[in-house]
Copies of this chain bind each other. A is one copy, B any other.
Amino acid sequence: MGLADPVFLVNYKTYAGTTGDDALAFAETIERVRDETGSRFAVAPQLPDLRRIAERTDLPIVAQTAVPRAESGIGDVTLEAVADAGADAVFVSHPENEAAFTAVARAVDRCGDLGLESIVAVEGLTTARMALAADPDWLLFERPADIATDEGMVRTHPERIETFVETVADEAAETRTFVGGGIRTAEDVARAFDCGVDATGAASAAIEADDREAWLRSIATAVPTADASR
């Protein structure tokens, strides 16, 4: 299905209260808000919850991690496994779970074979250019220091995001851009899309909201709808 943009990703990470039936219930809430508002949302549950959410909702699904198949490892989850379970995209490398340098290229390549969109996190223009040499579908611009704070780059350094978006547009027009880290409010989301990105998202702000549905409805007001976006 792919990850149509503009889109807002709700990432469950490993927060309490986001597994099993809670995982599905929250996804159904996200889907309902999407359907009622027309704003696109996607979800990144833990891996054991991925298939059920793929079957019970039609939200695009991002695997939090997955790796190219090794000969006989244990514990790792393969790109094949998450593709088979219904994932649309995968974090090949994320600020909180970075891939090894050469693994990025192998994973992006294998995602292409499997129809998974690849997302590679970068922390500036140099790492963006490095990642572009592997030709991923998405670049995520996110600084570890911003995670779970309210001091994201959209507030503190929006000009960096604009430069990032322009650089990617110049060098790899097909590659889409995602900014994360410290996104907490509709205003943050609006700022992100104003900088030109194709996606943004949140984890802690979504999970910790007193009323998650109300929070999602607020966020939805700032996600460009498909018709308006281009």
Does A49 belong to the interface (CB within 8 Å)? yes
Q: How many copies of the chain does the oligomer comprise?
A: 4
Q: A131 contacts the other chain (Cβ, under 8 Å)? A: yes
Contact between chains at B78 and A46 (CB < 8 Å) = yes
Contact with B along A162-200 (1 / 0, CB 8 A): 000000000000000000000000000000000000000
Which residues of chain A from 111 to 127 have a CB within 8 Å of any chain B CB?
A: 120-124, 126-127
A73 touches B130 (CB 8 A): no
Answer yes or no: A105 CB below 8 A from chain B CBs. Answer: yes
Which of chain B's residues have a CB closer than 8 A to the CB of A74? 11, 13-14, 64-65, 91, 94, 96-97, 203
Q: A69 contacts the other chain (Cβ, under 8 Å)?
A: yes
A140 to B80, CA, bound (A): 28
Give chain A's interface residue range (CB within 8 Å of chain B): 35 or more
Question: Could you tell me which residues of chain A, from 45 to 77, have a CB within 8 Å of some CB in chain B?
Answer: 46-52, 64-65, 69-77
CB <8 Å contact, B91 and A75 = yes
Residue A228, interface by CB 8 Å: no
Q: How far is the CB of A138 from chain B (nearest CB, A)?
A: 15
| In the complex with contacts A47-B77, A74-B65, A98-B103 CB distance below 8 A | yes
Using CB atoms, name the residue of chain B closest to A104: B101
A48 contacts across to B, CB distance below 8 A: 47-48, 50-51, 77, 81-82, 84-85, 87
Chain B residue with minimal CB distance to A47?
B47
Q: A19-B85, A48-B87, A100-B101 are in contact. List 8 more A-B contacts (CB 8 A).
A: A47-B77, A48-B51, A48-B85, A51-B52, A71-B148, A72-B148, A72-B203, A74-B203
Sampled A-B contacts (9; CB under 8 Å): A15-B69, A19-B80, A48-B82, A64-B75, A72-B148, A72-B203, A98-B101, A98-B103, A101-B120
Residue ranges of A at the interface with B (Cβ–Cβ < 8 Å): 11, 13-16, 19-21, 23, 46-52, 64-65, 69-78, 80-85, 87, 91, 93-105, 109, 120-124, 126-127, 129-134, 147-148, 203-204
10 tightest A-B CB contacts, nearest first = A20-B84, A65-B75, A75-B97, A48-B85, A129-B133, A98-B100, A19-B81, A130-B133, A46-B81, A47-B47
